[in-house]
């Protein structure tokens, strides 16, 4: 379908691979830098998960030399996946897509944007160095006294690295908020803004307000570790709950930092690939803000077993309330695809996968919010299952949906749909059979973060481990697809999905300044299925693809 | 054909972009202030929660801090912030002499503030330091001092830039001065919060 000169043109227009290895203030380059770096960390963290599952194949300690080795392994797995994979990965899509959706030429502060990215490699080196020196063993939550009295020097490096990543996150988020609020074209009011931008706005508000608390907590942890203070040491008059309060005041909102952009992606992908307007657009935008706000009032549900009893009920109530804005989104997604002309593209499949998995993670979240139940399953595999349903079944599925959806815009070439569907099947079922059985072993009482377990659980653990290996294998399919499609995929054209948002109203990949002149957004970013939308799409197609449109 | 990176580098900032840049800088500064004040609030939470792990505050056998010197220092800092504002207004009118005069005085007062707080930091009694009453004072004043010194360096830098005629009455060309002043207000507000918590809330 693609004539040779078309091939040539696409190859010249996109940035050279070496451009991605250098300092650049172009948001599209930075977006790809974030994305590739984050995916590399995903592979590292994933390999660690494979080792964890290998160790758990038998009830005894066999693969690891000691329980400590296992502790440091899951500590790094969690740290890498949260701080180095999911959060930067959303910065990747936010960077690439948000300015384009707004019709802007770049982010508000291009230099700061690049600086925020380039803090990540040194931070990663510091964190990973810790693993090879004398690793942290206290889990990604780094509770004292585990992180103060019983963890190696790696814990100090861990805290330093996390500090840098937090600063990077704050700088990135300030940039997003200013870009979204100031750089829209005059025709695009807040209520005409794409929902990904709403989600990134809400995410960034959370990040700027919550991350300084992480900075505070880490500063105290560092002081306790290196300066001999006793902020968290009860023997010296300190308080271990102090860490838990400050840490979760950041880290619970951080859960929404990790999933809200994915919810924004869902609204985009579901609407485009089912050719239907987003159902309840305003409520979806507002529910992002609602989640951001309520997200600050729930942190102590992580401390139900250590909290003063009279504080438990209020936190139980606020935690249950946060299911309301989340439910609004779920309802909106169902309403959006209902009766639509659904195209089962890979992006759509992952979006539907998100819906089915996230609803399970959401419901177990409400179960865990219920105090009596939480105390029963506290620190068991039920909790592990819950947050993987949210962070893998949610965030990672949405990341894949975003990858398949925007890859044509980023590289100018389509991904292979057949491989995409195979990838989806392996990921979906690999994920489901890895994490669903964890509910069961958790209810039966298998504790998390332990390398040995009672032999009764072995069969379940082998099912889980086998499925985890399938899930791990699925990653190779998408890596192969990305590399192959980057070089040999069919030329995408400006708007392969016939979408109405502005990122599709320019060439793929977009030129350095994104748009030749000031783009005028279509009046409704999700107004699919009308005559006017068809006319607009035809105009876009003629403007960018000429008569070479073969789709 | 020039490479992708070259094209990007050649993109020039137009008149309209310069206005947008000022708007972005102002909003960005506001968000930064709202964000980073949370780090100071986090330390206030630390102070607050640690208070409740002691039977009384200040703990038994520890003499409460004397608020006299910190109060004078706080007053100096407030005055200094007002002077930065006055200087900035002078710059907007094109009155560079007023700008230089006010900012020099502001920096001098800032220096006085820093010296007083350093004195407070150093002279915490042994008895106080054995408890979190003294330790949180050092934590909070130390954390604040780092910010105060860093931003005084920014004020000084702006003053020296101005001596070589870098700024004009056009706010688009003197964002550095406006931004530095706003950072100094931030230091002032953050200190007032700490001052109340450390010296007045018993």
Contacts of A210 in chain B (CB under 8 A): 38
At A31-53, the pLDDT tens digits run 999 999 999 999 999 999 999 99
User: In the predicted model, is pLDDT for residue A379 greater than 60?
Assistant: yes
Question: What is the average pLDDT across A429-454?
Answer: 96
pLDDT at position A126, please?
Answer: 96
- The set of residues, in sequence order, having a beta carbon less than 8 Å from that of A516 and lying 6+ positions away, is none
Tokens 């799409």 correspond to what residue? A537
At A213-231, the pLDDT tens digits run 999 999 999 999 999 999 9
Q: What is the mean pLDDT of chain B?
A: 91
Question: Percentage of chain A with pLDDT > 90?
Answer: 87
Question: What is the average pLDDT across A198-212?
Answer: 97
B4/A208 CB distance under 8 A: no
pLDDT at position A287, please?
Answer: 96
At A337-374, the pLDDT tens digits run 999 999 999 999 999 999 999 999 999 999 999 999 99
pLDDT at position B194, please?
Answer: 97
Q: How confident is the model at residue B123 (pLDDT cuts 50, 70, 90)?
A: very high
**Residue A134, exposed/middle/buried by CB under 10 A (0-12, 13-18, 19+)?**
middle
A130/A138 Cα distance (integer angstroms) = 13
Substitution target in B39, B131, B138 with the highest count of A β-carbons within 10 Å is: B39
User: In the predicted model, is pLDDT for residue A198 greater than 70?
Assistant: yes
A343/A276 Cα distance (integer angstroms) = 11
Q: How confident is the model at residue B7 (pLDDT cuts 50, 70, 90)?
A: low
At A509-523, the pLDDT tens digits run 999 889 888 888 999
A238/B50 CB distance under 8 A: yes
Q: Look at phi and psi of residue A345 and say left if phi exceeds 0, alpha if psi is from -120 to 50, else beta.
A: beta
In chain A, positions 431-490, which contact chain B (CB-CB < 8 Å)? none
B68/B50 Cα distance (integer angstroms) = 25
User: In the predicted model, is pLDDT for residue A4 greater than 90?
Assistant: no
User: In the predicted model, is pLDDT for residue A549 greater than 50?
Assistant: no
What separation in angstroms does the CA of B100 have from each of A117, A361, B79, B167, B199?
37, 60, 16, 12, 34
CA distance A29 to chain B (A): 10
pLDDT at position A551, please?
Answer: 40
User: In the predicted model, is pLDDT for residue A10 greater than 90?
Assistant: no
CA distance A240 to chain B (A): 10
Asked whether this complex has an ipTM greater than 0.90, the answer is yes
At A116-161, the pLDDT tens digits run 999 999 999 999 999 998 899 999 999 999 999 888 889 999 999 9
pLDDT at position A65, please?
Answer: 87
Question: What is the average pLDDT across A237-250?
Answer: 93
| Domain B12-200, classified CATH 3.20.19.10, yes or no | no
Question: What is the average pLDDT across A78-94?
Answer: 97
Q: Name the residue facing A178 among B1, B28, B42 (closest C-beta).
A: B28
Question: What is the average pLDDT across A455-463?
Answer: 97
User: In the predicted model, is pLDDT for residue A57 greater than 90?
Assistant: yes
Q: Where are the domains positioned within chain A?
A: 4-545
B183/B25 Cα distance (integer angstroms) = 12
pLDDT at position B13, please?
Answer: 54
- Please, what is the angle between helix B15-51 and helix A195-222, to 10°? 40
Contacts of B34 in chain A (CB under 8 A): 208-209
Instruction: Tell the CATH topology of A4-545.
Output: Cytochrome C Oxidase; Chain A (1.20.210)
pLDDT at position A133, please?
Answer: 87
At B136-168, the pLDDT tens digits run 999 999 999 999 999 999 999 999 988 887 787
| Closest residue in chain A to residue B42, using alpha carbons only | A213
A15/B11 CB distance under 8 A: no
Q: How confident is the model at residue A103 (pLDDT cuts 50, 70, 90)?
A: very high
At residue A447, the 3 state secondary structure works out as strand
pLDDT at position B15, please?
Answer: 66
At B23-57, the pLDDT tens digits run 999 999 999 999 999 999 999 999 999 998 888 98
User: In the predicted model, is pLDDT for residue B189 greater than 80?
Assistant: yes
pLDDT at position A8, please?
Answer: 44
A241 at interface of B, judged by CB pairs closer than 8 A: yes
Q: How confident is the model at residue B5 (pLDDT cuts 50, 70, 90)?
A: low
User: In the predicted model, is pLDDT for residue B117 greater than 90?
Assistant: yes
Contacts of B31 in chain A (CB under 8 A): 174, 177-178, 208
Q: What is the mean pLDDT of chain A?
A: 93
pLDDT at position A545, please?
Answer: 74
A420/A404 Cα distance (integer angstroms) = 8
pLDDT at position B172, please?
Answer: 84
User: In the predicted model, is pLDDT for residue A5 greater than 50?
Assistant: no
Residue A298 DSSP class: -
User: In the predicted model, is pLDDT for residue A548 greater than 50?
Assistant: no
**Residue A543, exposed/middle/buried by CB under 10 A (0-12, 13-18, 19+)?**
middle
Residues in chain B, total: 202
Substitution target in A178, A218, A227, A296 with the highest count of B β-carbons within 10 Å is: A178
Q: Which of A175-189, A267-281, A412-426, B158-172 shows the lowest mean pLDDT across its residues? A: B158-172
Residue A260 DSSP class: H
- The set of residues, in sequence order, having a beta carbon less than 8 Å from that of B45 and lying 6+ positions away, is A216, A245, A246, A249
User: In the predicted model, is pLDDT for residue A11 greater than 80?
Assistant: no
- Rg, Å, chain B Cα set: 21
Which string of b and e fits B98-133 if b means at least 16 CB within 10 Å? bbbebbebbbebbebbbebbeebeeebeeebeebbb
Residue A249 CB coordination number (10 Å)? 23
B45 at interface of A, judged by CB pairs closer than 8 A: yes
Contacts of B50 in chain A (CB under 8 A): 231, 237-239, 242
pLDDT at position A524, please?
Answer: 92
In degrees, to the nearest 5, what angle opens at C-alpha A295 toward C-alphas A447 and A159? 60
Q: φ, ψ for residue A62 (rounded to 5)?
A: -125, -45
Peptide bond between residue A12 and the one before it cis (omega within 30 degrees of 0): no
Structure tokens at A385: 């299952």
A481/A495 Cα distance (integer angstroms) = 20
Q: How confident is the model at residue A307 (pLDDT cuts 50, 70, 90)?
A: confident
| Closest residue in chain B to residue A171, using alpha carbons only | B32
Structure tokens at A413: 């070439």
Contacts of A22 in chain B (CB under 8 A): 5
pLDDT at position B12, please?
Answer: 52
A237 at interface of B, judged by CB pairs closer than 8 A: yes
A342/B136 Cα distance (integer angstroms) = 59
């Amino acid at each position: 379908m693609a004539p040779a000169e078309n091939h040539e043109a696409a190859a010249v227009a996109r940035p050279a691979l070496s451009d991605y290895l250098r300092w650049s203030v172009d948001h599209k380059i930075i977006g790809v830098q974030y994305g590739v770096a984050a995916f590399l960390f995903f592979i590292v963290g994933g390999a660690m998960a494979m080792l964890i599952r290998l160790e758990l194949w038998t009830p005894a300690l066999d693969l690891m030399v000691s329980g400590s080795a296992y502790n440091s392994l899951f500590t790094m797995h969690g740290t890498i996946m949260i701080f180095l994979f999911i959060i930067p990965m959303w910065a990747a899509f936010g960077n690439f897509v948000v300015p384009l959706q707004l019709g802007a030429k770049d982010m508000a502060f291009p230099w700061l944007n690049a600086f925020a990215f380039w803090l990540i490699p040194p931070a990663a080196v510091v964190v990973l160095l810790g693993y090879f020196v004398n690793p942290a063993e206290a889990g990604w939550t780094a509770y004292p006294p585990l992180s103060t009295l019983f963890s190696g020097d790696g814990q100090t490096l861990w805290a330093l690295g996390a500090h840098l990543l937090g600063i990077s996150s704050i700088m990135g988020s300030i940039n997003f908020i200013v870009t979204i609020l100031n750089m829209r074209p005059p025709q695009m009011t807040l209520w005409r803004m794409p929902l990904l931008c709403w989600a990134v706005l809400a995410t960034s508000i959370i990040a700027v307000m919550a991350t300084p608390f992480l900075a505070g907590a880490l500063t105290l942890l560092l002081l306790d570790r290196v300066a001999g203070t006793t902020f968290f040491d009860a023997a010296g008059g300190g308080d271990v709950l102090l860490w838990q309060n400050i840490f979760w005041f950041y880290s619970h909102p951080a859960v929404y930092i990790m999933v809200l952009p994915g919810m924004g992606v869902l609204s985009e992908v579901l609407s485009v690939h089912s050719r239907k307007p987003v159902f309840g657009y305003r409520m979806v935008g507002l529910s992002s803000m609602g989640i951001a706000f309520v997200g600050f009032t729930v942190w102590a549900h992580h401390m139900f077993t250590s909290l003063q009893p009279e504080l438990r009920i209020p936190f139980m109530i606020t935690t249950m309330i946060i299911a309301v804005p989340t439910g609004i989104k779920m309802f909106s997604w169902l309403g959006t695809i209902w009766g639509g002309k659904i195209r089962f593209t890979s992006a759509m499949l992952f979006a539907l996968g998100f819906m089915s998995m996230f609803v399970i993670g959401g419901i177990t979240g409400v179960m865990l919010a219920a105090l009596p139940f939480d105390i029963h399953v506290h620190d068991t595999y039920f909790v592990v299952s819950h947050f993987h349903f949210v962070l893998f079944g949610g965030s990672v599925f949405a990341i894949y949906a975003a990858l398949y959806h925007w890859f044509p815009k980023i590289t100018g070439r389509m991904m292979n749909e057949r491989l995409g569907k195979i990838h989806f099947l392996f990921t979906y079922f690999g994920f489901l059979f890895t994490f669903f059985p964890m509910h069961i072993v958790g209810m039966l009482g298998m504790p998390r973060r332990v390398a040995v377990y009672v032999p009764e659980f072995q069969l379940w653990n082998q099912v889980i481990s086998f499925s985890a290996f399938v899930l791990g294998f699925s990653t190779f399919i998408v890596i192969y697809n990305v590399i192959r499609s980057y070089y040999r995929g069919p030329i995408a054209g400006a708007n392969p999905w016939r979408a109405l948002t502005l990122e599709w109203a320019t060439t793929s990949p977009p030129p350095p300044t994104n748009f030749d002149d000031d783009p005028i957004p279509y009046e409704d970013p999700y107004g699919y299925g009308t005559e006017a939308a068809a006319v607009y799409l035809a105009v876009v197609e003629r403007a960018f693809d000429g008569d070479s449109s073969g789709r | 054909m020039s490479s992708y990176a070259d094209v990007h580098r050649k993109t020039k900032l137009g008149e309209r972009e310069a206005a947008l840049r000022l708007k972005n800088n102002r909003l960005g500064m506001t968000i930064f202030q709202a964000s980073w004040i949370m780090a100071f609030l986090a330390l206030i939470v630390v102070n607050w929660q640690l208070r409740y792990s002691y039977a009384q505050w200040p703990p038994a056998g520890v003499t409460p801090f004397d608020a006299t010197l910190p109060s004078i220092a706080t007053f100096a800092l407030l005055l200094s912030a007002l002077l930065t504002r006055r200087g900035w207004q002078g710059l907007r009118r094109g009155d560079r002499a007023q700008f230089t005069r006010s900012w020099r005085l502001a920096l001098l007062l800032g220096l006085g503030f820093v010296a007083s707080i350093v004195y407070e930091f150093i002279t915490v009694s042994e008895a106080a330091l054995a408890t979190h009453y003294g330790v949180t004072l050092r934590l909070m004043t130390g954390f604040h001092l780092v910010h105060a010194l860093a931003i005084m360096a920014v004020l000084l830098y702006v003053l020296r830039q101005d001596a070589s005629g870098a700024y004009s009455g056009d706010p688009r060309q003197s964002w550095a001065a406006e931004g530095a002043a706003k950072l100094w207000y931030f230091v002032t507000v953050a200190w007032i919060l700490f001052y109340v918590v450390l010296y007045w809330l018993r």
